[in-house]
Structure 1
């Protein structure tokens, strides 16, 4: 697999994403459903945004690992949140996670009216290898 990052500008670097990723010679593609702060027993979290973001990232990592991929294989990541205002103070958690795994992904952040039950943040990913 060969990845090419396309960034006509540099400002997006501080926001932990890239403008485009071209992928050639792909062995396989993995599409991951939105991962949230739902525990192993299927119970949705009613904790704060920081706690939910950490749990959603852990759940995303677990699915990636179970599928035989690595976090660095992420090429597209969508973030859905019920409150950008609640998410922003904790966005560094996401950015640190991106840097830790050397991920270069496209990104869309959407504020939505609601998510399932008591959830505040959801992460949807596409990976290639």
Structure 2
């Protein structure tokens, strides 16, 4: 798969942490990952936002790995945050986890997720 970042100058240039669009050519497989939350393999969810975010990314990595993919294969992310004050922490973790990879991205603030202790949910689309 070959992918290209699309960031038209008419849209104020290149965003810092994502791409306005990703053009995928000759994709052989596409993986749609359901929203992942910060629950570990034992069913435990930390009360700490950053810990939940890191666990959600670990869950995504595990799913990608099962499909013989990596984080670099992600072409789109959708993030749901309950508290807008958590955005700086989310952005820090995303930058650390994605290591310069900038897929297309949507971030939405929501009033709640399914369980009250859940603070972040991330779903992705990956292609290779």
- TM-score when normalising by structure 2: 0.88
In 1, distance between residues paired with 2:35 and 2:90?
A: 19
Residue by residue, what CA displacement relative to the aligned partner does 1:82-124 show, whole Å, maximum 9, x if unpaired? 012123244211112122xx42310000011111211000110
How many Å separate the matches in 2 of 1:11 and 1:127? 21
Whole-angstrom CA distance in 2 between matches of 1:48 and 1:42: 15
- Stretches of structure 1 that go unaligned for 5 or more consecutive residues are none
Q: Which consecutive segments of 4 or more residues in structure 1 shift more than 3 A?
A: none
In 1, Cα distance between equivalents of 2:127 and 2:71: 10
**Residues 1:18 and 2:16 aligned together:** no
TM-score by length of 1: 0.88
Question: What number of residue pairs does the alignment pair up?
Answer: 124
Find the counterpart in structure 2 of residue 114 from structure 1. Answer: 112
Q: Is the 8 A contact 2:74 2:127 kept in 1?
A: yes
The 1:20–1:119 alpha-carbon spacing in structure 2 relative to 1, beyond 3 Å, is: same
Q: What's the CA shift string for 1:27-65, capped at 9, x where partnerless?
A: 00000001111121334x141111111111111111111
Contact kept, 8 Å, 1:75 with 1:106, in 2: the verdict is yes
Match of 2:122 in 1: 123
- Give matches, 1:95-110, under 5 Å: 95-99=95-99, 102-110=100-108
| Stretch moving more, 88-97 or 72-81 | 88-97
- The answer as to whether partners of 1:79 and 1:121 remain within 8 angstroms in 2 is yes
